[in-house]
Amino acid sequence: MSILWASLLAFIVSLVITKPTISLSKRIGLVDDPKKRSHPAHIHEGIIPRAGGIPLYLGLLIPSLLFITISKIVIGILIVGALIIIVGILDDFYDISPYIRFFLNIILVSIVIFFGLGIPYVSNPFFGGVVQLDSFTFTFDLFGTHTFLVWSNIVSIIWIVALMNFVNWSKGVDGQMPGFVLIAALFLGSLSFRIPAHHITKESIILLSFITAGSFGGFLVWNVYPQKIMPGYGGGSLAGFMLGVLSILSFGKIGIVILILSIPLIDACYVIIRRLKNRTSPFRGDALHFHHRLLQMGWGKMRIALFYWIITFLFGLSSFFLYGIQKVLALIMVAGALAFFIIISERIKKEKNIKQTLL
């Protein structure tokens, strides 16, 4: 019953606080105006508040303090979540360099790792068993004795920082990101009932998952088309951070998150490869993400958001039944379908350009 009340409180807090956040953002100029701040990835029109990370974080913080048993890792998660929002607000005001943001992401994730979060092993989908990541350690003294799990911590940092950036890249359409994060968190919470707990109690993991879902659900009411507020860099980073943390807190869910978020993650990997191939910075924004291509094909914003939600739901549902190599095969199929779509969309775009040139 506490799960229901915690998620409902998260929903209400996020929903209620978003309205004054919109008013405050407009008053202090924390807005995105395409006429003053051009960006190739932006597709919205008009002046939209950018501070969505504030209600999202408060929707996480308040229910967590009331319902979750406070532990060192939970404290670390809440502290780093607050720091992520602070960085997001600063970026909303000053447009921080993407390189500085990336460096700050690494620092912030490292903080939560030192609070005790880490990946002890990953499953081997090809040969069964697991690959241990906690065997290489070294010990140091700093206000007490600490053991540093080298590979475990490095992989954890890479994983969470990657999700923070990749999820951020898939928030271009109204309601797109909060919707698929809500669905992903619900499935992670549901799957936690049957997976052994890691670091903190199973109840705390389940509560944190459903609180995350509730917070993003409350914000979605304001962000769905036509959006009244944007998640901003802080909101997108917080989403990736929480999904990364939740995937680590219970054994075996990293592969599940990769499956559930297959479209955003494969799209991000393709974008990085394309940018490197074209000798441009992986951090340099453009309008060639998957959702941009769907827009170019004539899809509406609401239709694109629904597509992301439905795909997330279907892969979340399949995660209850797919194991090991089956997940890998599913990802290969998605990657192949996405590659085929990109090739077709490129050809359609070239043909349109040729026709426009001839006319």
> What is the per-residue burial (b if ≥16 Cβ within 10 Å, else e) of 137-165?
eeeeeeeeeeeebebbbebbbebbbbbbb
CB neighbours of 347 closer than 8 A, spacing ≥ 6? none
Q: Collect the ranges in the chain with pLDDT lower than 50.
A: none
- Phi first, then psi, for residue 196 (nearest 5°) are -60, 145
> What is the per-residue burial (b if ≥16 Cβ within 10 Å, else e) of 180-207?
bbbbbbbbbbbbbeebeebbbebebbbb
Q: Name the residue with tokens 């094909």.
A: 297
Residue 147 lies in a domain: yes
48-49 and 137-141 strand pairing: unpaired
3-state secondary structure of 134: coil
Residue 345 lies in a domain: no
Of 5, 27, 72, 7, nearest in space to 212 by CA: 7
Number of structural domains the chain divides into: 1
Residue 181 lies in a domain: yes
Quick one: DSSP state of residue 136?
Answer: S
Residue 309 lies in a domain: no
- Residue 353's pLDDT is what? 62
Structure tokens at 2: 């506490």
- Residue 138's pLDDT is what? 66
- Phi first, then psi, for residue 199 (nearest 5°) are 80, -55
CB-based contact 296:350 (threshold 8 Å): no
Residue 310 lies in a domain: no
Residue 344 lies in a domain: no
Structure-derived torsion over alpha carbons of residues 265, 172, 62, 211, reported in degrees to the nearest 10: -40
Q: What is the pTM of this model?
A: 0.90
CB-based contact 245:161 (threshold 8 Å): no
Residue 355 lies in a domain: no
272 burial type by CB count under 10 A (0-12 exposed, 13-18 middle, 19+ buried): middle
| Rounded distance between C-alpha atoms, residue 283 and residue 275, angstroms | 9
Q: Measured in whole angstroms, how far is the alpha carbon of residue 76 from the centre of its chain?
A: 18
C-alpha angle 290-296-297 in degrees, rounded to nearest 5: 95
- Residue 118's pLDDT is what? 81
Q: Look up the domain containing 75 and give its range.
A: 2-253
Residue 138 lies in a domain: yes
